[in-house]
Amino acid sequence: MDYLPRDPLNRAVLALPRVERRAIAQRLTEESRRHGLVFNDDRGRPKVIDVMLRPWVVTPQQIRYYRYLSLQIRDALSRLWRLYFYERPEVQAVLPFGPEEESWVAEANRLTTNHTYMIVGRLDSNAVYHVPHWREEILFLEPNAVGVGGVHYGPAAQEVVRTLVGPALQRTLPRGLRLTTSPDPRLLLMREAQRLTSIRGRAMHIALIENEDYKSGTDEFQSLARYLNAHDFKAVVTDPRHLRLRRGGVYLRDLRIDVVYRDCELKEFIEIEAKGHRLDAMRHAVSHHMLLSSATGEFDHKSAWEIFTEPRYAKHFTAAQRAIFRKHFLWTRLFREARVNGPDGREVDLIVYTRRHRAHLVLKPNHSYGGTGVVVGFTASQASWERTMHRALRGPERYVVQRLAPVCLDEFPVLDDDGRAALVRRRVISGFFVTSGGIGFVGRFSRDAVVNVSRGGGLIPVLAVR
């Protein structure tokens, strides 16, 4: 069998003695906080993230298949900068940058046109792992190649669940299978950083940069720094304004930085410069290929899916990639006044089509994150939908319109404080961390139609079997 059904795992949690379930329920928040599973709410107050006790469990066959898909998509994303600057400049209309953003992206090509595309990214999908048709029905929703959430949360959630219910889950597995952790995205980050430099004989110095102007949202960098410092790195968390360019290198005070891993988009650098701060050190990091993700990570527009699924660009991608696009990609178009290929391949007026097919579509900001601004058509009134269409056409932020993915629901056991158990159904999203060397996993759940931790969702640990 190339998948594990969920029901035996659910029953394993429900079958625990109530006194044991009560102890687990009481320890869950404590263990989550201890492992750094915390985000900041809109007022900047720390909140513990909800974690499901029943994990998703992936098989070796599933890991291999999703790794193949993810690396093919990553390679396709790596081709976009060359299309944009050299081969098909008309894609600039579909991957819109302002002039300031484009100047930052161009920095990555200033010293060489043979640019190495370095990302620690995440591909979001509707994948589920406990069904026999897991290969056929996966659809990729969007790419994220800058400051992706979950690099620490994913493996930390694994540890919480292995600690609390690992032995009970192990007893449900077929003979010869052993429950273990899935690939750790923190290790993928470390290896990608090592690819950027040939440092030998000392710990690598890595700056984890985040914009101190933003106090809410996910909060992983301090925990990530502790992990890196325990694995032969010298990691520091700082704001990009604190880096300095000295003697041809990037410094934080007296520490010379080798690699910069960022939680900031280029538009944040532009906002910081507009306030009068110089970011010479960051520009140096971009042009000297010290940055993870590189400046070309900014091509993770949701409208990249239009490039991949538009027939006139097909020749720029391999036969294997085109097959993945056809089978596993949602129809997506940058929202604008234009005639485009519709989901069935026939030409449509995009505005008219979007207005008429609200129940089957989603409108979302093209280059945003955290679920901000996403409107799911079937949850909106026609009047509200048309207001969103107007804002998408006339407002400062560009949007995409995308075919709505089938709603993925999963069933999990939850415990109250007294150890009473019940099964609940939640909407779920699966994320694949991807670098040049492999993939990791993170699962998220929500009651809401938009599944995101920053919008009150929670984490599904992803374990593996050997």
> Domains, the chain, ranges and CATH?
7-301+408-465 (no CATH), 331-403 (3.30.1490)
The whole-number pLDDT of residue 107 equals: 79
Task: Please tell me the least confidently modeled range out of 11-15, 39-43, 300-304, 365-369.
Answer: 39-43
pLDDT at 114 over 60: no
Q: What is the structure's pLDDT at 76? A: 94
* CA-closest candidate to residue 442, choices 117, 149, 175: 149
Instruction: Please state the rounded mean pLDDT for residues 295-319.
Output: 93
What backbone phi and psi angles, to 5 degrees, belong to 97? -120, 145
Tens digits of residue pLDDT in 241-281: 999 999 889 999 999 999 999 988 888 999 999 999 999 99
Share of residues in the chain with pLDDT > 70 (%): 95
Return the beta strands (E) in 202-360 as ranges. 204-209, 217-218, 233-238, 244-246, 249-252, 255-257, 259-262, 291-292, 332-334, 339-341, 347-349
Cα dihedral 154→159→160→161 (10° resolution): 90
In tens, the pLDDT along 184-209 reads 999 999 999 988 887 766 889 999 99
- Select the highest-mean-pLDDT range: 117-121, 292-296, 376-380: 376-380
Rounded to whole angstroms, the Cα distance separating 322 from 95 reads: 19
Beta carbons within 8 Å of 236's beta carbon, 6+ residues apart: 205, 206, 207, 208, 225, 252, 255
Higher pLDDT, 114 or 334: 334
DSSP designation for 289: T
Q: Give the strand pairing for 462-465 and 56-58.
A: parallel
Q: What is the mean pLDDT of the chain?
A: 91
What integer is the mean pLDDT of 426-434?
95
pTM of the model as a whole: 0.93
How far apart CA 55 and CA 165 sit, in angstroms, is 10
Cα–Cα dist 443/154, whole Å: 8
pLDDT > 90: percent of the chain: 74
Range name among 72-76, 212-216, 361-365 with the lowest pLDDT average: 212-216
Rounded to 5 degrees, what angle do the CA atoms 95, 101, 103 make? 110
The more confident residue out of 427 and 437 is 427
* pLDDT reported for residue 215: 73
Q: What is the mean pLDDT of residues 138-143?
A: 95
Work out the average pLDDT over 11-31.
94
Task: Write down the pLDDT at residue 326.
Answer: 96
pLDDT at position 205 is: 96
